[in-house]
Amino acid sequence: METTISVSIIEELRFAMINMAEQKGSLSDPEVVAISQQLDEWLVLAQQVALH
């Protein structure tokens, strides 16, 4: 179940980041960067879980 939740959150964040970047017209917009950082944290967590 943890894996399913992680994948779901990762997909939602990825979608949100793409949409925000399209709205803002920039990958360096602070809101896009904030979502990207959250996404990075979830990706690292998912990788750690996968390795253990």
Report mean pLDDT in 10-residue bins for the chain, 52 residues. 78 98 97 98 90 83
Res 35: pLDDT: 98
Q: What distance in Å separates the CA atoms of residue 3 and residue 7, rounded to the nearest whole number?
A: 6
Chain-centroid distance, C-alpha 50:
17
Please give the pLDDT value at position 52. 81
Write down the pLDDT at residue 24.
97
